[in-house]
Amino acid sequence: MKRQTVSKKTRFEVFKRDAFTCQYCGAHPPGVLLHVDHIHPVAEGGTNEIDNLVTACEPCNAGKGARLLNVAPETLAQKAAQVAEREAQLQGYAEILEAKRQRLDADAWRVLEVRYGKDVKTAPRTEITSIKRFIEKLGVHEVLEAMDIAMGSRVSEWKVFRYFCGVCWNKVREQEGGAD
């Protein structure tokens, strides 16, 4: 059977009927993109009648494919494998975030050493936080250069950090194409 596009009106009516919630897993926007799924697949003779349509999130719709629901039951082993895969992905993501945090900490201390030398441990926490944000936006080498510029300026010692922030913001604007 030739597939016909589900009209926007019908699509909206299905979403409204199903409370904008995936009928397979319960997911809803903004966390997922919703699709209209054919309960009885078009490939098996299903139609676009509203009673044959159901709201499905993108992952559920792609996973079901053109199979009948009674043909695609998920076994306990399959569910366990999915949970294990999700856990492995979460663990990997957590490791990446931790490595990033450690790198930002180390890079921030490098910048602070330029500013404070041996007295680096006296740096205010607010400076550390700002430096990390600049490193995320610009990279450590640009931030180190900005601190070198600030330290070489003729501003008073207590204004050096403000001058440094100004240099960094100018660099951010240059990167974003906002500088003349």
- For 104-144, the pLDDT digits (tens) are 999 999 999 999 988 888 888 889 999 999 999 999 999 99
Domain of residue 33 covers: 8-71
- Residue 180 inside a domain? The answer is no
Domain total in the chain: 2
User: How far is residue 8's CA from residue 13's CA, in Å, rounded to a whole number?
Assistant: 9
Q: State residue 20's pLDDT score.
A: 92
Specify whether 102 is located in the same domain as 149. yes
Last residue of a domain, one of 71, 87, 119: 71
Residues in CB range of 61: below 8 A, 6 or more apart? 35, 37
- Residue 2 inside a domain? The answer is no
Specify whether 49 is located in the same domain as 107. no
Question: In whole angstroms, what separates CA 149 from the centre of its chain?
Answer: 34
- Residue 36 inside a domain? The answer is yes
User: How far is residue 161's CA from residue 136's CA, in Å, rounded to a whole number?
Assistant: 18
Specify whether 49 is located in the same domain as 100. no
Specify whether 103 is located in the same domain as 171. yes
Last residue of a domain, one of 50, 71, 92: 71
Specify whether 57 is located in the same domain as 107. no
Specify whether 133 is located in the same domain as 156. yes
Specify whether 97 is located in the same domain as 159. yes
Specify whether 67 is located in the same domain as 81. no
Specify whether 166 is located in the same domain as 143. yes
- Residue 94 inside a domain? The answer is yes
Long-range contacts of 153-157 (CB under 8 A, 24+ apart): none
Specify whether 108 is located in the same domain as 62. no
User: How far is residue 115's CA from residue 146's CA, in Å, rounded to a whole number?
Assistant: 11
Which percentage of the chain shows pLDDT scores above 90? 57
Specify whether 144 is located in the same domain as 123. yes
pLDDT digits (tens, 9 = 90+) for 21-58: 998 888 888 888 999 998 888 888 888 899 999 999 99
- Predicted model pTM: 0.53
Specify whether 108 is located in the same domain as 155. yes
Q: State residue 69's pLDDT score.
A: 58
User: How far is residue 14's CA from residue 55's CA, in Å, rounded to a whole number?
Assistant: 6
